[in-house]
Structure 1
Amino acid sequence: MDYERTYDSGLFDGVALFVILIDQGSFTKTALVTGHSTSHISKQLNKLEARVGIRLLNRTTRNLSLTAEGEAFYLRCQKIVDETQQATGALLGLQDEPMGTLKISCPVSLGLSTLRPLISDFMTEYPKIYIELELNDRKVDIISEGFDLAIRASRKLDDSSLVSRRILKSNSMVIASPSYIKKFGAPNHPRELIEHKTISYSNLKQPNVWEFIDLDGSQISVKVDSHILTNSAEMEIAMCIDGKGITQMPSFNLGQEIQQGQLVELFKEYKKQQIEVHLVYPSRKYMPSKVRCFIDYVVNNLA
């Protein structure tokens, strides 16, 4: 049903000062923060109480305390002030030209295979953004180490206060070299891996436990005896090609090794485990334009 909206032009007068006053706890501190005099703040508060028709504060020369009505009013006003600040920050961010240094963490193989061409094209489109890219397979602490965002690959991300956005899916593959198969044979079932030499990725929580989906759809966990344990996907591939063992990794780590016959995929008839790649960053609030445009660029180009 249509209705006529009515407006009070002075609706928000004194609201922000009221919230700041409660947050700061005194007229003196509020004056320092806002640059207004204590008398001005007091007058604005009196006008606000007169307009709403309710005493919001009990105040003496030493103490401030909210009335019950003031407490309820403060909680609502605090949300309004916070949302207004966020809206203002978002608007300013949209107006900013993306520029500055963007610090990114990414796994080595994923960076070289997937991210490299994207970053090259991104820098052409945004010449005022400088990239500081750390290719490292360790899990960085985004906030304490000063990263704007990180790219992480995992079957399941850890619960975290960080924001994540999935950008890519990849299959997990079990691979071996023809020379290894010729010498030791190929396992027919994942459980037979316990009889083979394996190469495992040490950055996983349980590098010696390999997960599979059996032909009947049930989950299988195989505890392997890792003859080589490394934090480098490149080393895994090199050792595997040299016939030192069987390894398991996301397909995005591989180039043309299978097509060129250097490696052979095992267990082709088994359903593949999914590895998800996420962009991870501290917060959606007040996101710098350089971060926002990079996220949008990666998502749009990997979709």
Structure 2
Amino acid sequence: MAYNAQLLNGMVIFVEVVNTGGFTLAAQSSGHSTSYISKEINKLESRLGVRLMHRTTRSLSLTPEGEIYFQQCQQIIGDAEQAEETLNGRQSEPKGTLRISCPTSFGNSRMQSIFSRFLTQYPLVNLELDLNNRKVDMVSEGFDVLIRGSAQLDDSTFISRKVFSSYGVVIASPDYLKRQGTPQTLADLSQHSIISYSHLKQPNIWSLKDASGQSHQVQLTSRVLSNSSEMELSLCLAGHGITRMPRFNLGDEIETGKLVELLSDYQRQEINLYLIYPSRKYVSSKVRRFIDFVVAELSQH
């Protein structure tokens, strides 16, 4: 990376302007004049080659580019403050905004209470939660931590910490099985209505290993292809077909008889839950505390 002596110029002032809501308040809090603040923002925009703010005499708002830059600047400044606290020998109290991406179903079913307890324990940390089932770009989208379930993670430069192991289940409702019959082999699924998850690499190819470890797969035509595991589960419960998903997405539906696990003669596919975060020598206090907190909470269950 080429040397750039101006790389951080204007960043602290820009963040202060956004946090206070205007040039005058930023000038008061920083001890500078309003004209100085204005000139620094103008120089920053000129150096970056983009407009960061829309400003009038009465209001100030960020442009889309300004919003992205603001999120990144907050992270950099927060890390720098915590690095100084660490070097000065002080206990670093987690603070700032923590951006987390989590699967929708797992976030709603398992993480709500954990997020709540984390906020109570760390009052200086703000959470920005993005519940989605898509593949995200951790760096370009500015996430601090990803929560993901997978049989095997793709190779990456990120650090992954396994929280727990679960497994995949093939399931259907008793009503569906009464009407359409119960498949005995993986190949039998081709004669059934299938509900598949679209974010898989090959959603219409299902594979399982038999008791001897030999792999079998079948090409299916999905009656429903959905990017929502909640929708999969809902349609399965309503008797519209057979689906498969991680066991941790379910509650007590199997135990109470609302759903039936199928193809139990095959080996269960292991699915692990991971916390993923950027590979850095220095991990901010808020990220480290969040990871340790989640691991401790989920390991109890």
Shared fold (TM-score greater than 0.5)? yes
Query: 113-122 or 90-99, which moves further after superposition?
Result: 90-99
Does residue 1:192 correspond to 2:212, yes or no? no
Q: 1:283 to 1:90 in 2, by over 3 A?
A: farther
The 3-state SS of whatever aligns with 1:265 is strand
Alignment-derived partner of residue 121 in structure 1: 117
Q: Identify unmatched segments of 5+ residues in structure 2.
A: 8-79
**2: CA distance between counterparts of 1:171 and 1:266?**
13
Alignment-derived partner of residue 198 in structure 2: 202
Which aligned pairs between 1:65-84 and structure 2 lie closer than 5 A?
Answer: none
Does residue 1:283 correspond to 2:282, yes or no? no
Aligned length: 223
| Among candidates 213, 237, 242, match of residue 241 of structure 1 | 237
CA distances 1:101-123 after superposition (whole Å, capped 9, x unpaired): 11100001111122222111111
CA distances 1:234-253 after superposition (whole Å, capped 9, x unpaired): 10011111111100000111
The 3-state SS of whatever aligns with 2:154 is coil
Does residue 1:171 correspond to 2:167, yes or no? yes
- Kindly provide the amino acid, as one letter, of the partner of residue 110 in structure 1: F
Alignment-derived partner of residue 38 in structure 1: none
Alignment-derived partner of residue 232 in structure 1: 228
Alignment-derived partner of residue 297 in structure 2: 301
Which aligned pairs between 1:4-153 and structure 2 lie closer than 5 A?
Answer: 91-92=86-87, 95-153=91-149
**1: CA distance between counterparts of 2:85 and 2:263?**
50
| Among candidates 251, 254, 257, match of residue 253 of structure 2 | 257
| Among candidates 120, 137, 161, match of residue 157 of structure 2 | 161
- Kindly provide the amino acid, as one letter, of the partner of residue 206 in structure 1: Q
Query: 219-228 or 181-190, which moves further after superposition?
Result: 219-228
**1: CA distance between counterparts of 2:84 and 2:138?**
22
The alpha carbon displacement at 1:215 in A equals 2.2
Q: 1:271 to 1:94 in 2, by over 3 A?
A: farther
Q: Identify unmatched segments of 5+ residues in structure 1.
A: 1-22, 34-84
| Among candidates 219, 227, 231, match of residue 223 of structure 1 | 219
Q: Is the 8 A contact 1:113 1:252 kept in 2?
A: no
- Kindly provide the amino acid, as one letter, of the partner of residue 253 in structure 2: E
**2: CA distance between counterparts of 1:114 and 1:94?**
34
Give the aligned CA root-mean-square deviation in angstroms.
2.3
**2: CA distance between counterparts of 1:153 and 1:194?**
27
CA distances 1:53-112 after superposition (whole Å, capped 9, x unpaired): xxxxxxxxxxxxxxxxxxxxxxxxxxxxxxxx9xx7793497321011111000011111
**1: CA distance between counterparts of 2:136 and 2:84?**
28
CA distances 1:124-164 after superposition (whole Å, capped 9, x unpaired): 11111111111101111111111111111111111112221
- Kindly provide the amino acid, as one letter, of the partner of residue 91 in structure 1: T
Q: Is the 8 A contact 2:210 2:265 kept in 1?
A: no
The alpha carbon displacement at 1:301 in A equals 2.2
CA distances 1:188-244 after superposition (whole Å, capped 9, x unpaired): 111211111110000000111112111222111222211100000010011111111
**TM superposition score normalised by structure 1:** 0.69
Q: Percent identity?
A: 50
**TM superposition score normalised by structure 2:** 0.69
| Among candidates 154, 178, 183, match of residue 179 of structure 2 | 183
The 3-state SS of whatever aligns with 1:113 is helix
